[in-house]
Amino acid sequence: MPAKKYEPPDPRRGYTIQTREDATAGKTCQWLGLELNSRITVMSNEIFDMTFLTYLSASNNRLTRLPSCISNLFNLEFLDVSNNCLEELPKELGDLLNLRELHLRNNQLRELPFELGRLFQLKGISVDGNPFAQEYPISRYDVNSILLYLLDGLQVAPQPPQRQWTQISSPLEQGFVGSGEKFTVMSYNVLCDKYTTRALYGYCPSWALLWPFRRDLIFKELSQTNADIISLQEVEYEQFHNFFDPKLTSLGYDGIFDQKSRAKTMSESDAKHVDGCAIFFKRQRFRLIHRYTMEFNQLAVAQAEGSSDMLNRVMPKDNIGIAALLEVKQLTGQLRSAPSPPDVLVANVHVHWDPEYCDVKLIQTILMMRELGAIVDEAIKERQRNPALGVRQIPLVMCGDLNSIPKSGVVDYLQNGELSIAHPDFKENQYKGFLDKNVLPDKPGKSSTSSTAPMIGHAFNLSRVFE
């Protein structure tokens, strides 16, 4: 959704005064701005409860300070405190992320808080007439210079809260590993280096966007979390081979990796910077049986069924999913001899990002679940062909960046196991041939002439980790 266009306040705007009679008669009015021009020395805290304000002018007064609770005015777009006696500014001003204009002229300010650098939507700032102890790179025509200067001066933020583990169900309830055995899974989008641009992350200090800084923090978290299975998205080819693979190998992991499909059409030097998905697993706990790559553009071509939208909307997006069929070992690291070792299928996917392509996200997810279902069916058939292995159900652990909100068609489809082919996320695009080929059979008691749209589904009973 595009950002709301900012309209600077009109200095010639008119005023409407509500009379006592109007108020008594129950007449209401809507106002979003407040002007204080009465030589005041202190602003009442009640002002900072007016969270609806978008405009606040307190210029030409005798204010010596602004309270930290000014951050309550999160809708504020215009703030003018010029011509006062302010000696310092609260760092909480940096929390007013909707601010577009900030006027601080003719005060007694000696410095600006670095937190002002977070005001990435700021279009205008004026600070002349202050006895600053240093020279700031401020230009009337270049607000970004001062924002970048302040932003890069920010200190390292406090450590994020420790991640909480979510237990889906006990291993005994799942029935595929021995009593008392568990394994942990972590999924992490590490943010590909080429996507960390100032245009996308203007609110972030430039030093915090640098890959050497971020990778060390990421690896620190991965090693401290010590998960049995790690799924990573947006990993560049070079990052995988030169950093993640050797680092995690030293911690006892084996891994698989594949890139987005475009890498196949690029030169070797350019392909190194194409991102993809990786799965790492502790070699003491698991052994790799098979690895799989799902290229959604190739699957879209194969499943197009004459659909132009399948070819024009889904096929050009080269997102991928990968999967690893793993044999679970005993806690001692030794393979079981009897009964036969259980298997688990771990999948990792990164679907298309653009909110305007919710239909593509959904089709990619359906294609992926079809492939995962086929992988499980083939693995079970393999066990059936080899009596020594025994026949077991093969559980699925699905990780990834779905680029979807909780109430989207993607999440509904995965969580509920089925979705109407009339779901609005298909956006009335022409996928009918593909969807008709994959609809679920009618449930008992449901008339084949019912007006209810057919359902498309998958074969897994997935539990949801996130809320």
Structure tokens at 460: 């897994």
57 DSSP β-pair partners: 35, 80
E strands, 340-410, are 343-350, 396-401
Please answer whether residues 189 and 234 qualify as being in contact, where contact means their C-beta atoms are separated by less than 8 angstroms.
Answer: yes
Closest CA to 396 of 440, 315, 433, 342: 342
CA atoms 197, 198, 200, 201: torsion sign: positive
Please answer whether residues 107 and 58 qualify as being in contact, where contact means their C-beta atoms are separated by less than 8 angstroms.
Answer: no
The three-class DSSP label of residue 32 is coil
> What is the helix (H) or strand (E) element at residue 325, kind and residue range?
strand 320-328
Which residues are marked as active site? Answer: 401
Convert 268-291 into a string of H (helix), E (strand) and C (coil): HHHHCCCEEEEEEEECCCEEEEEE
- Backbone torsions φ then ψ of 284, nearest 5 degrees: -75, -25
Closest CA to 256 of 320, 183, 334, 315: 320
Please answer whether residues 214 and 259 qualify as being in contact, where contact means their C-beta atoms are separated by less than 8 angstroms.
Answer: no
Q: What angle in degrees, to the nearest 10, is found between the helix axes of 358-385 and 409-416?
A: 20
412's CB contacts (< 8 A; 6+ apart) are 419, 423
DSSP string computed for 410-428: HHHHHHHSEEETT-GGGTT
